[in-house]
Structure 1
Amino acid sequence: MQAVILAAGKGTRLRPLTDDKPKALVEVDGRPLLEDVFDNLLEVGADELIVVVGHLKEQIIDRYGDTYEGVPITYAHQREQLGLAHAILQVEPHVDDDFVLMLGDNVFRGNLGDVVNRQREDRADAAFLVEEVPWEEASRYGVLDTNEYGEIVEVMEKPEDPPSNLVMTGFYTFTPAIFHACHLVQQSDRGEYELPDAIDLLIQSGRTIDAIRMEGWRVDVGYPEDRDRVEEKLRDELGRDVVSVTLTEPSSEAETD
C-alpha cells in the first residue's frame, strides 16, 4: 500500500517555530511531526512513502534520504504551494493504485486502520476520518453537510458560515479517481486548488464516499499553541502508559483517549 504525505507547506502560522525549517520538521516531544506521520502510516501497513515536498525541501530529503525504517521513500516536488488538490496531482506519476493520504502536520492517536479496512472492503473512491469540532473552529477545516439520513451531500473548504461542525481530519484513502477530480477543480477565492472541492466532485458524480467517525484524538498543528497541546496529550498518555491505535473495526470495548 502506497502512502502519500503532504509536507510542502511553509507553516507561516507556526512562526517562529518555522523560521528556519519546513513545517513538517517542527518537533513535538523531541521528534519531527513528519516522523510521527511516518510511524502511523507504517502501523497501518504502508510499504512505500511518497512525500510531497516544497518549502525548504532539502532539509527533509537530507534528513530521511531514500528510506525510513526500511520502507522506501519517493519525493514529489510541489514548486508552488497552490493547495492540497494541486499537491496531490504532483504524486500522480508515482501512484499505481489505491493509496492513503495523510497531512504532514497532524498528530493522530486513533482508528486510522478503520479507514484502510473500509477502503479494502467497500472499494470506496474516498474514505476519511471525520470528527466534530467546536462550532467556532469549523471554518478552519473542510466541512461536511449531511442530509436527514446522515448521508454526505456536500463538502466545502473553510466556509465562512459552516453548515455543520462535522469536519474532515487529515487522513484519507483514495482510488485514482481523485486525480481526475483534482484536475477538474477550479481555483478558489483563496487562490488554491482545494481538496474538499475535489472530494465534492466525487460526491456529485455519484462515487462511493465513506466517512468514519474519529476515535481517539487528533491535533492539527497549525499554531505554536497546538504543539503545546499535543505535547501535553502525549505526556498524559505516557503517564497512563496507554497508547491506543485501533487497526480493526471499532467496537464498544475499543480503548480510546
Structure 2
Amino acid sequence: MEAIVLAGGKGTRLQTVISDVPKPMALIKGKPFLCYILDELSHQGFSKVIISVGYKKELIIDYFGEDYRNLKIQYAEEFEPLGTGGAIKKALELTSEANLFVLNGDTYFDVDYKSLMKQQIESKADLTIVLKEMKNIDRYGTVVTEGSRVVKFNEKQPAATGKINGGIYLLKRYIFKQLDLPEKFSFESDFMQVYYDKLEFFGYISDGYFIDIGIPEDYYKAQKELK
C-alpha cells in the first residue's frame, strides 16, 4: 500500500504555539506529530509514503530521509503553494498503485486501512472519504451520505452532531485525468464539492481515535492523549 501525506502548510492557526517548524513537525511528547502518522502506516503494512512538502520542507526531509521504519519515503516538493488538490496531483506522479491513500499531516485518525481498501474496491468508488461521527462540530463542515454514497457537503456551521471529513481519503490514481482543473486548487472546495455528483464518492465511517492539531487547544490535547 502507498500513501500521500500532505505536510506542506504553514499552520497559521498554530503559530502562537509553534512558529519555527511546519505544523506536522510540531513536537508531541518529544517527537514530531508526523512520526505518529508514519508509525501507524508502518504498523499497518504500508511500503511507501510520498510526503508533500513546502513550508520549511528541509526540516521534514532532513528528519525522515529516504527510509523510516520499513517505509520508503519520497518527497513531492512545492516551490510555491499549490493548494491541497495541486499538492495531491503532483504527488500522484510518484505513485504506482491503482488506489492511493491520502492523509492530512496535521491529523491522526485510527483507521483500518485494509478494510477501507476493501470497501473502495467493492463499491468501485473513485474516492472514499473517511468520516467521523462527532458532537459539537462548529469547527468542521459535515458530509451527508445516503447509504455509503456521498450526496452533499455542508459548510462549517454550528451543529450538535454530524459526520465530519476525517482528513483521510482513498482515491483512484487517475481521478484527476480529463478534468478541467488548474495547477493550484483546493481538493476540498474545488474538487470534492464540485464533482461529488459526477464521480463515484463514498464515505467510510470509522469510530477510531481522532485528533486534529490545527488549533492550540487540540495541540495541547494531543500532548496528553497520544501514545
User: Shorter chain as normaliser: what TM range?
Assistant: 0.7 to 0.9
Q: Secondary structure at the residue paired with 1:9?
A: coil
Aligned partner letter, 2:144: D
Which structure 2 residue ranges, 5 or more long, are not aligned? none
Q: Note if 1:227 corresponds to 2:219.
A: yes
Between the aligned partners of 1:209 and 1:45, the Cα distance in structure 2 is 25
More displaced 10-residue stretch of structure 1: 110-119 or 94-103: 110-119
More displaced 10-residue stretch of structure 1: 52-61 or 216-225: 216-225
More displaced 10-residue stretch of structure 1: 77-86 or 43-52: 77-86
Which structure 1 residue ranges, 5 or more long, are not aligned? 236-257
The 8 Å contact of residues 132 and 165 in structure 1, kept in 2 or not, is answered as yes
Residue in 2 that maps onto 1:128: 129
The 8 Å contact of residues 76 and 91 in structure 1, kept in 2 or not, is answered as yes
Between the aligned partners of 2:180 and 2:43, the Cα distance in structure 1 is 31
* Cα shift at 1:201: 4.2
Residue in 1 that maps onto 2:65: 65
Q: Note if 1:144 corresponds to 2:143.
A: yes
The 8 Å contact of residues 149 and 201 in structure 2, kept in 1 or not, is answered as no
Between the aligned partners of 1:150 and 1:122, the Cα distance in structure 2 is 9
Between the aligned partners of 1:230 and 1:85, the Cα distance in structure 2 is 27
Q: Secondary structure at the residue paired with 1:204?
A: coil
Distance 1:29-1:178 versus aligned 2 partners, 3 A rule: farther
Distance 1:7-1:95 versus aligned 2 partners, 3 A rule: same
More displaced 10-residue stretch of structure 1: 117-126 or 81-90: 117-126
Cα deviation digits, residues 189-219 of structure 1 (max 9, x gap): xxx52435423444322x3332111222201
Between the aligned partners of 2:176 and 2:69, the Cα distance in structure 1 is 29
Between the aligned partners of 1:198 and 1:181, the Cα distance in structure 2 is 13
Between the aligned partners of 1:225 and 1:231, the Cα distance in structure 2 is 10
> Once superposed, what is the RMSD of the aligned Cα atoms?
2.7
Residue in 2 that maps onto 1:217: 209
More displaced 10-residue stretch of structure 1: 74-83 or 218-227: 74-83
After TM superposition, list the pairs within 5 Å mapping 1:169-188 onto structure 2: 169-180=166-177, 183-184=180-181
Q: Secondary structure at the residue paired with 2:102?
A: strand
Question: TM-score when scaled to structure 1?
Answer: 0.76
* Cα shift at 1:173: 0.7
Q: Secondary structure at the residue paired with 2:167?
A: strand
The 8 Å contact of residues 10 and 55 in structure 2, kept in 1 or not, is answered as yes
